[in-house]
Structures are given as C-alpha cells and as structure tokens.
C-alpha cells in the first residue's frame, strides 16, 4: 500500500496544471534544464579546464549533486569533507541557436566556482550562496560542434575572496552545512539579440523581470498587476519594443492579456519596459493556499515576439503596523520554525528533487506553522519556489553569522542582499528580508533599506533583523530567545526553543528508557570552550513536546488582541533534525519537530493543536502525548495538549476526571496506571459541550512489516536523481503500528533503482547501511531511480516478523544534455487551507489603559523609559532606599492585570507589592519567563498604580539558555548581578477587562 494519500493534497492539482505545463514547455525552448550528463572528479586537476582533456574515467553524475553529500548526518558538520572538485559536461547547442545569445545560470556553487568554456576562463563566483550566471555567447561553438564546460569548485571553510583576501562571514561550520561542488540546479538560456535580461546582478549586471501588484481591493478580489522587464538590445540598430503580458491561472485558463507602451531601445542599451492592467476575480496567495499564476512577458518588435519569459508568481497584500503583520487585510501571528537553510536529508544533503522540498515544507504547513525563517543565508531557489506552492511564509536572510561587521565583509553582505532580492522578488511567500542574524547599526540598516527600496519597492516586504528594538529604520525586529512586544513595528522571536530529543526516545518508561536530561555532550562550543552541561537540552519526546508548548505560551499570552503592545509571534528552532551544531551525544542537531527523514515527533502534533489559527485558535483539538503500550506495572503522568477549556481522560471508558490545566494548553493527569486497551481525551468548552477528542489504543505484539511509499506527484522520474521514500512499520496482526518496536530491518533493492538509506541511532547513524532499526515502530529509507524507466522493487525483512515488498514505478523523462523538462515541472500547489477568510483573526480579550506619567524618588528622569515602548531602555531604582514608582493613568479604570518585563526575566524573581489608588491588589514574587509576566491582581478601580519592591530578587535556574558560543545570556541584567536590591522595569502595562 502506498501512502501517496498523505501527499494527495498536492497530487489532485496535477489535473489542473496541463495548460501551465504546456506553457512551461513552450518557454523551455529558451530555458533548458542543464542538469544531465555531467562528469565529476574529486581533487584538483588543472588540466580539466581544457576542452580536450580526457574525463572518461571520471564519475557520471546528474545535478544537483554535492560531491560530499553521502556524508550528510554521517559526519559532524565540522568534519564534512572539503577541498577542490571539478565538474565537466560536453554539449551541443540547439540547431536553431545560431546568432542567438547563450547564458548559463547556476543556482549556486559551494564555496567558489570558476567556469571555463572550451578552455577559456569565463568567470568566478565566490559567495557560496547565491545564484549567478555568465554570457557564454562569445565563447560557445555553434551547432553541431561540441562544447565543453568545466567548473572548478572549492568548499574550503577558510576560503578567501581572490581580490580582497577577505573570508565570508557566513561560511561557518556551526550552521552552514558544507555540501560542496554544485549542489543546486543549472540552466541554459537561449535568447534573441533583443531580450529580457536574467535576474543575476553580480555577474551579469542585470535585473530581469519584476512582477508585482498594487491597488489591492481584497474584499472585491481586485488589484493592478504590473510587469517591469529589463530589456537589452544587442543589435546594431535601435528598435521600438513593447511588452505583451498574458496571465494563466492554476486551472490553465488565460485570465488576462495586455500590452505596454512602446519604447525605443538603442543599441547596447538596457531599458525597463512596463505594462499594467487592473484585474478582477483574482485569487490571492495566502498561508496554506499557494495559489499561483503563470505570468508570461513577451518582447514585441513590429508585433512579432522575439523573446519570452514565464514567471510563476502569486499576489498578496501585506502590511506591517501597530505591532502586527497583516496578510490580505487579516492579522496573522507568526508561528513557525527557524530552519537551517540547507534543509538537508541523510546521505543526500540538500540536493533533493523539487517534490521533496514540497513534501518537507508542506509538513510545516500541516503542523500549522505559517512562517519559516531560513537561518543565516539565502535559501536556494528550489526551496523559495516550494514555499510559494505550499503556502508557507518566508523570512529570507542574505548572509550573516552572529554579529555586525565592517569593511569588505559588510560589503559582501549588502551585495548578497541585493542579488537575493533581485533573484527572489517575484516569490510571493517572502514577507521578510532579514538584514542580519544579530542587530546591525542604524547606518547599516539604512543601507539595507535603500537596497530594498531600489529593487523591490512594491513587493510588500518588511526589511529588518534580529533585535533592532529601538531602530527608527528597521520595519520589524525581535530577539532570538525571548518575547518582545510593540505598538509600532512587528516583533517576533527569531528562535525561541533550542531543546533537543531523538525521535527514538518516547519517555523514561519505554525502551531505551531515556530519562529527561540525560544524553551527555561530547563536543565543544564553536569558540572552543567545552560544553560542561547540556542536560537541559537533552529531552525525550514527552518532555520535548511539553516544553515546546510551555515556551509558546508566552507568545500566545501576548498575541494580537491582548492590548496595544503585542507580540507578533515567533519561530521555534528547528523543524527537521539537522546536520549542524548540536548539544547531545549524536553528532547532529535533534531539535526538529520531525526527524531527518521527516517522520513526525510528538512536537509536530503539539504544534498542530496550539497553532491552529491565524491568531486565536480556531478549531479545538487535543493530542495525548506519548503512546499506550507499557508494561503492566507502569504508572506515569499523562499530558494532554488541547485548546479546549476542560479536558477529561478515560482509560478503557472509565473517567479519571479532569486534568490540571497549566500554560493554557497543558492538561496533566497524575499517576495514571497502565491498563491495556485504550486511552481517550475529550475536550469541552466552557459550557460543557464536547469540542474535540483524541484516542490511542494498545497495539498487539509485533507480527509483520508494512511498507509504503511517498513519491513524486505524477510518478518517480527515471533520471538517476529522483528519489522515492519508503516507509517501514512494525505492525501487529491487525495492522496497527507497534509504537515500542525497535526491530532491525534488512532492505533489498532490485530493478531500476539503487539503495540510498536512512538514519537511526547507532554507529555512523546507520548512514548508507542496508540494515537499520525502526524507532518507535517506524523508519524510512530512500531509493534512487536509474536512467532507465521500469520498476524498483524493495523488500524488507526482519527476524521473526512477516516480510513485505513494495514497488516503485519510474517513468521516462527527457535526459538530454539540454532537457526541456524543468526540475519543478508539474508540481501542484497546496491549497488545503483555502483563501484568506474575511472574518477577524482575533477577539480582543482586554483593554490597555495608557500611562501619562510616573513619579519616583530615584532616577525620575528615566521613569518614562519603563513605559516608552522601547525594550532597550529601562528605569531602575538605583539606591538602597524604599523602591517605589507610581504611575498615573490616562483615565480611571478597573485594573485587573499588570504586565511587566523586568530585567533578568529568565532568572530573577522579584518580591513586589502593587497598589491601585492606595489599595493593595497584589503581593508576591514575579515568575520567570521568556520576557513578560502577567500578574492577575484584585480588580480595583483607580487612576494611580504604585509598584513597590519588598526585598532582594531571588535567583531561579528554571530557564537555562546558553548561546552556541558558550555565553550565558543575562536577559537585560549586567553580568554579575546575582542578587540585586533594585527594580529594573523595562516595560510595564495596565489592563482592564472588556465588559
């Protein structure tokens, strides 16, 4: 049985892509897939640049292919092989290409690529991240002569720019997994002498075509669609040219065709040609609704088409104000993942077929995530386009490590941002441009803003970076580990949960009995210091899921609708386990909500529950953490994650009562004895009505293996590069997965495919091994097609279990050196969540009462800093006298909540007393958290609120957050502030209930 059903949300749309596909094939006459028929040699052979060099003994590869990709997850990121490798390809131009322009486009080479054509040096690209291209016209031999292109690559971690001897800040062995060579796609473009340029600025100096919409009317489904295309004339005479634009929807119907004005383009001149039209009945791109149009712009000379460019894009309206993000006029709180840009898989690294990018990225949407913040460097085009299709909002960085820089290294960052914006500005899923992984200076932020304004003034994208909390230039910000709020710019956490846990570990009661906090640390920090204790990061599935919910609660509590100053959300680091910096005994990062083969952990289902909605939770859900297959004597606490108001637990239909609620979404049932059968959680609303349920049944003894496949929609391609995922489960006699099974599985692959493998805990992480165990009753491997269409037969066997077989049929594709089948061809969009709703995304839960002044007998001049909507300022009482500050409100109000951000929020508990018009409404210690704390006070009417410190702050180690450099974050405190007799208020707010 195939689990293509799991991917059916994509597959159904294939029926509607025929017309779009036909148009893509038409444009493929000028854009060719250049991935097939390459030769590879690992090692430096300088003679390989010469056309006559004999490369017959080199390895045959089809791109994308990183020469060290088989090491992915087998080796620690710092140990991935580096060095020089050469790629060569022999090809002919098409018959009708004489007297035409020829360009090559690389989506990226790591770290450096030198390009030679027929022995002539064409150019070099060195940043290791961005796409680039060259004009081959002067050097290419016409049909039927053969051409030889040779690419020398060097992925040395310490590679330095030839002209300046400067390294690249982002070529970093903490986060930027080093898959060397040509790990991304390559294309060849054949164009006329009057043509629309390519968006490859750094090497060609050209900006390509810009498609954008203005004058949105979301309610009436209207907007003006604009196309601006840079056209270059390489004829010897001037021409009068104009743009003709056609637009085709996802059903293959042409919905618009319009002409722009005529322009005179002089010889060797580049000029932007423009066309625009107001359109009705538009489908707007949205979260989980990857609605895309194919916009084709043609250059007409004397009413004859001489050049054509097709761009798949979508249209959406975005706005960033009042501390919130608006998508299509609806507020959306950011909920998602800070994902490593490599987005890698075992044994193949980042070089996966485009459908696997869709599969992985769609899982983020299925977990109810709406934002992926790619970390440190710009993602490759395949992932950018994939997010368009699956409806996943993106934050796109340029390149950075962990600090602002100056000189040539800063220039490299601005150049990369410029190139990335030009290359990706037609992709609707990008809503944020990230200028730095850490805060940058105001002058640097101004430079980045100017780049955005020059090259993407109409794209509806905010530019900012981490921190920038008091910036007058940045358009968004947010810290890395904590929660921020604002009444002006949207602030969202760029990563807020770093805990790690193998999928293999259910809990301390299930083999292999992983007690929370065990796991050890076997490496050093990136600065060379030893990680003394990483126990707080090493979790099992139970506690990892619960911790992620607890961490999210701080953001949910301060969501839009809870006042004028709000949090715009945050992203959890990371989505899938990653071949990057780690804190456990395995040599890779295990913080994912899915493992490296994208098998969900309990964290995945936790997020499905708590993130269901744009802001407020919209569909009540429940998830029982763990399984129900214990030994008879086991008694354990059961946690249910739910958005219901009350949760009741049943074991074999006997009620165990209502759970103890905490952090809004966690319901705990203490000391539940295991009894074989079923465990069921039922959620109720405040009126007692049942709104959701979740049930787990005890599986029987392991009986058989069950194989299923996840494949490319439309079928696996016989191109020696496509992959199929094969899932193996250990099941009981009724076909139920056995959740505690750890059986070793032997795989055999025959036919038109080869074994690639998967991952599991063990020696070398079982990378490339044909025998590997299931974990929690399930695992996955990959098989690769050959270039011959046929059938791949996969057999799985295991001692004492019934074996199983499954077949993958591969289909013929164009394997020509200039293939007309593009890598993303026929891939459908994910539209499961539907278009943007017109209903409000949140209900207001309380009213903020403005502060008009504050009085104190210490540091009076700074008192306003405690309520100035600037989290980089604070008021602090600096003496040993009685610590008191009194606030005057704009009006008399019935105060029932006080919200504060106090320096040292993660480690300090302040004993305080609060008065409203001299009536005591609260006395106690403030809790720790990720930033803000909400104190429920005795509801009291008044206009003045007094805060008094009653003693020294007490230390707490409940939240242990350490940077990858080994630095302990002080959360607003000065280093060494162990015990303080002062009250440092960063921000304070007062609220009254909505009547």
467 with 430: CB under 8 angstroms? Answer: no
Question: Is the model's pLDDT at 13 over the cut of 50?
Answer: no
Residues 6+ apart with CB under 8 A from 66: 110, 179, 180, 181, 182, 183, 349, 350, 351
* Whole-number Å distance between alpha carbons of 261 and 241: 8
Question: Is the model's pLDDT at 622 over the cut of 60?
Answer: yes
* Whole-number Å distance between alpha carbons of 377 and 171: 9
615 with 622: CB under 8 angstroms? Answer: no
Which strand (E) or helix (H) includes residue 387?
Answer: helix 381-390
Question: What is the mean pLDDT of the segment spanning 750-770?
Answer: 97
Q: What is the DSSP letter of 979?
A: S
Strand partners, 807: 793
Strand partners, 698: none
686 with 645: CB under 8 angstroms? Answer: yes
* Whole-number Å distance between alpha carbons of 700 and 731: 8
- Give the residue, 530 or 28, on which the prediction is more confident: 530
* Whole-number Å distance between alpha carbons of 778 and 620: 28
Q: What is the DSSP letter of 537?
A: G
359 with 782: CB under 8 angstroms? Answer: no
Overall size of the chain counted in residues:
995
**pLDDT tens digits for 403-451?**
999 999 999 999 999 999 999 999 999 999 999 999 999 999 999 999 9
pLDDT band at 514 (very low <50, low <70, confident <90, very high): confident
Chain centre to alpha carbon of residue 14:
25
297 with 229: CB under 8 angstroms? Answer: yes
Return the beta strands (E) in 218-359 as ranges: 222-233, 239-248, 254-259, 263-265, 270-279, 293-301, 304-313, 318-321, 324-327, 330-331, 334-340
Please tell me the predicted confidence (pLDDT) of residue 26.
39
196 with 307: CB under 8 angstroms? Answer: yes
Please tell me the predicted confidence (pLDDT) of residue 29.
54
* Whole-number Å distance between alpha carbons of 414 and 451: 8
Mean pLDDT of the chain: 93
Which strand (E) or helix (H) includes residue 447?
Answer: helix 442-455
Question: Is the model's pLDDT at 508 over the cut of 50?
Answer: yes
Question: Is the model's pLDDT at 977 over the cut of 70?
Answer: no
- pTM score of the predicted model: 0.94
Please tell me the predicted confidence (pLDDT) of residue 585.
81
**pLDDT tens digits for 734-749?**
999 999 999 999 999 9
Question: Is the model's pLDDT at 169 over the cut of 90?
Answer: yes
Tokens 């050093």 belong to which residue? 524
The CA-atom distances, in angstroms, between 224 and each of 214, 216, 313, 798 are 5, 7, 14, 61
- Give the residue, 27 or 779, on which the prediction is more confident: 779
> Closest Cα to residue 492, out of 456, 468, 457, 473?
468
pLDDT band at 498 (very low <50, low <70, confident <90, very high): confident
pLDDT band at 687 (very low <50, low <70, confident <90, very high): very high
Rounded (10°) angle between helices 602-610 and 541-557:
20
* Whole-number Å distance between alpha carbons of 375 and 360: 16
> Closest Cα to residue 314, out of 288, 339, 294, 340?
294
Question: What is the mean pLDDT of the segment spanning 378-393?
Answer: 98
**pLDDT tens digits for 203-262?**
999 999 999 999 999 999 999 999 999 999 999 999 999 999 999 999 999 999 999 999
Question: What is the mean pLDDT of the segment spanning 825-843?
Answer: 96
Q: Which two tokens stand for residue 405?
A: 């820089």
Residues 6+ apart with CB under 8 A from 976: none
Q: Which two tokens stand for residue 556?
A: 């949910």
- Give the residue, 586 or 312, on which the prediction is more confident: 312
Strand partners, 635: 673
Q: Which of these ranges, 602-611, 873-882, 969-978, has the smallest mean pLDDT?
A: 969-978
pLDDT band at 524 (very low <50, low <70, confident <90, very high): low
Question: Is the model's pLDDT at 995 over the cut of 90?
Answer: no
> Closest Cα to residue 605, out of 620, 594, 616?
594
> Closest Cα to residue 505, out of 760, 271, 734?
760
Please tell me the predicted confidence (pLDDT) of residue 14.
39
Question: Is the model's pLDDT at 2 over the cut of 70?
Answer: no
- 611 Rama class: left (phi>0) / alpha (psi -120 to 50) / beta: alpha
Q: What is the DSSP letter of 100?
A: S
Question: What is the mean pLDDT of the segment spanning 161-181?
Answer: 96
Which strand (E) or helix (H) includes residue 551?
Answer: helix 541-557
Question: Is the model's pLDDT at 529 over the cut of 80?
Answer: no
Q: Which of these ranges, 187-191, 656-660, 750-754, 903-907, has the smallest mean pLDDT?
A: 903-907
Question: What is the mean pLDDT of the segment spanning 723-727?
Answer: 98
Chain centre to alpha carbon of residue 887:
42
* Whole-number Å distance between alpha carbons of 388 and 509: 42
Strand order in the sheet with 101-106: 31-33, 186-191, 101-106, 132-135
312 with 294: CB under 8 angstroms? Answer: yes
Please tell me the predicted confidence (pLDDT) of residue 322.
97
* Whole-number Å distance between alpha carbons of 320 and 867: 22
Q: What is the DSSP letter of 396?
A: E
Q: Which of these ranges, 26-30, 55-59, 311-315, has the smallest mean pLDDT?
A: 26-30
- Give the residue, 861 or 2, on which the prediction is more confident: 861
Question: What is the mean pLDDT of the segment spanning 858-878?
Answer: 92
Please tell me the predicted confidence (pLDDT) of residue 330.
98
281 with 249: CB under 8 angstroms? Answer: no
Question: What is the mean pLDDT of the segment spanning 262-286?
Answer: 97
Question: Is the model's pLDDT at 49 over the cut of 60?
Answer: yes
The sign one gets for the Cα dihedral 622, 626, 629, 633 is negative
Question: Is the model's pLDDT at 522 over the cut of 80?
Answer: no
**pLDDT tens digits for 624-680?**
999 999 999 999 999 999 999 999 999 999 999 999 999 999 999 999 999 999 999
**pLDDT tens digits for 910-966?**
999 999 999 999 999 999 888 999 999 999 999 999 999 998 888 876 666 555 554
Strand partners, 696: 679
Cβ neighbours around 255 below 10 Å, total = 16
Terminal-to-terminal C-alpha distance of the chain: 56
The CA-atom distances, in angstroms, between 885 and each of 942, 980, 985 are 16, 17, 10
């Amino acid at each position: 049985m195939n689990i293509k059903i799991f991917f059916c949300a994509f597959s159904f749309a294939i029926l509607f892509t025929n017309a779009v596909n036909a148009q893509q094939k038409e444009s493929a006459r000028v854009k060719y897939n250049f991935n097939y028929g390459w030769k590879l040699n690992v090692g430096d052979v300088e003679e390989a640049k010469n056309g006559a060099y004999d490369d017959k003994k080199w390895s045959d590869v089809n791109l994308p292919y990183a020469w060290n990709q088989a090491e992915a997850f087998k080796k620690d990121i710092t140990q991935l092989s580096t060095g020089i490798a050469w790629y060569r390809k022999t090809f002919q131009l098409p018959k009708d290409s004489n007297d035409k322009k020829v360009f090559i486009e690389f989506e990226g080479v790591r770290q450096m690529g030198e390009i030679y054509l027929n022995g002539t040096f064409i150019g070099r690209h060195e940043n290791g991240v961005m796409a680039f291209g060259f004009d081959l016209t002067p050097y290419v031999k016409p049909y039927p002569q053969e051409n030889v292109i040779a690419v020398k690559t060097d992925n040395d971690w310490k590679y330095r720019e030839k002209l300046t001897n400067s390294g690249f800040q982002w070529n970093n062995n903490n986060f930027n997994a080093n898959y060397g060579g040509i790990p991304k796609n390559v294309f060849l473009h054949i164009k006329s002498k009057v043509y629309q340029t390519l968006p490859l600025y750094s090497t060609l100096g050209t900006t390509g075509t810009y498609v954008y919409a203005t004058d949105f009317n979301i309610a009436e489904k209207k907007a003006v669609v604009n196309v601006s295309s840079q056209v270059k004339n390489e004829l010897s005479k001037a021409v009068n040219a104009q743009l003709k634009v056609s637009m085709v929807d996802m059903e293959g119907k042409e919905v618009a065709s319009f002409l722009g004005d005529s322009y005179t383009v002089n010889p060797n001149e580049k000029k932007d040609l423009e066309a625009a039209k107001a359109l009705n009945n538009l489908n707007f791109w949205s979260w989980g609704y990857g609605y895309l149009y194919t916009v084709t712009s043609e250059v007409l000379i004397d009413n004859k088409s001489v050049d054509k460019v097709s761009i798949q894009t979508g249209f959406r309206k975005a706005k960033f104000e009042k501390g919130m993000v608006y998508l299509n006029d609806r507020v959306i709180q950011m909920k998602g993942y800070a994902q490593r840009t490599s987005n890698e898989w075992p044994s193949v690294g980042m070089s996966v077929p485009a459908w696997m990018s869709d599969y992985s990225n769609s899982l983020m949407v299925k977990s109810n995530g709406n934002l992926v913040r790619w970390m440190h460097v710009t993602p490759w085009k395949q992932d950018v386009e994939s997010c368009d299709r699956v409806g996943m909002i993106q934050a796109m960085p340029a390149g950075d490590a962990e600090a602002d820089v100056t000189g040539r290294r800063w220039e490299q960052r601005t150049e990369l941002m410029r190139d990335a914006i030009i290359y990706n500005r037609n992709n609707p899923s990008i809503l944020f441009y990230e200028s730095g992984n850490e805060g940058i200076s105001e002058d640097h932020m101004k430079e980045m803003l100017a780049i955005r304004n020059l090259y993407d003034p109409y794209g509806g994208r905010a530019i900012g970076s981490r921190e920038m909390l008091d910036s007058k230039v940045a358009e968004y910000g947010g810290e890395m580990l904590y929660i921020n709020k604002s009444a002006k710019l949207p602030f969202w956490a760029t990563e807020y949960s770093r805990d790690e846990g193998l999928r293999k570990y259910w809990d301390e009661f299930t083999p292999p009995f992983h007690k929370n906090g065990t796991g050890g640390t076997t490496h050093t920090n990136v600065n060379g210091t030893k990680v003394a204790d990483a126990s707080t990061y090493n979790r099992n599935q139970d506690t990892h899921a619960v911790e992620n919910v607890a961490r999210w609660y701080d953001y949910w509590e301060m969501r839009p609708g809870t006042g004028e100053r709000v949090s715009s959300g945050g992203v959890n680091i990371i989505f899938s386990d990653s071949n990057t910096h780690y804190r456990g005994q395995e040599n890779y990062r295990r913080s994912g909500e899915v493992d490296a083969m994208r098998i969900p952990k309990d964290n995945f289902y936790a997020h499905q529950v708590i993130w269901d909605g744009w802001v407020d939770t919209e569909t009540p859900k429940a998830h029982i953490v763990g399984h129900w297959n214990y030994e008879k004597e086991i008694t354990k606490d059961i946690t249910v994650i739910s958005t219901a108001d009350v949760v009741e637990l049943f074991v074999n239909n006997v009620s165990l009562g209502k759970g103890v609620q905490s952090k809004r979404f966690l319901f705990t049932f203490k000391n539940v004895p295991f009894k074989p059968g079923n465990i069921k959680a039922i959620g109720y609303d405040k009126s007692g009505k049942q709104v959701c349920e979740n049930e787990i049944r005890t599986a029987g003894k392991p009986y058989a293996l069950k194989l299923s496949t996840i494949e490319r929609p439309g079928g696996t391609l016989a191109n020696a590069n496509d992959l199929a995922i094969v899932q193996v489960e250990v099941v009981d006699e009724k076909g139920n997965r056995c959740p505690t099974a750890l059986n070793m599985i032997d795989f055999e692959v025959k036919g038109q495919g080869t074994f690639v493998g998967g991952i599991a805990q063990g020696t070398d992480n079982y990378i490339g091994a044909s025998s590997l165990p299931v974990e929690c009753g399930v695992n996955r491997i990959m098989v690769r097609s050959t270039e011959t269409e046929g059938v791949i037969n996969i057999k799985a066997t295991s001692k004492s279990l019934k074996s199983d077989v499954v077949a993958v049929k591969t289909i013929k594709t164009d394997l020509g050196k200039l293939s007309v089948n593009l890598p993303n061809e026929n891939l459908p969009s994910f539209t499961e969540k539907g278009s943007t709703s017109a209903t409000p995304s949140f209900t207001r839960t309380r009213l903020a009462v403005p502060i008009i002044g504050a009085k104190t007998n210490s540091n009076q001049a700074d008192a306003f800093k405690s309520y100035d909507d600037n989290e980089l300022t604070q008021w602090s009482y600096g003496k040993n006298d009685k610590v008191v500050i009194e606030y005057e409100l704009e009006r008399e109000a019935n105060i029932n909540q006080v919200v504060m951000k106090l320096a040292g929020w993660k480690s300090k508990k302040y004993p305080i007393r609060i008065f409203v018009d001299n009536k005591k409404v609260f006395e106690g210690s403030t809790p720790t958290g990720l930033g803000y704390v909400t104190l429920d006070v005795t509801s009291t009417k008044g206009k003045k609120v007094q805060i008094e410190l009653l003693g020294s702050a007490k230390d707490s180690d409940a939240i242990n957050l350490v940077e990858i450099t080994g630095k302990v974050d002080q959360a607003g405190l000065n280093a060494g502030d162990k015990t303080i007799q002062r009250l440092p208020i960063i921000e304070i707010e007062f609220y009254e209930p909505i009547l």
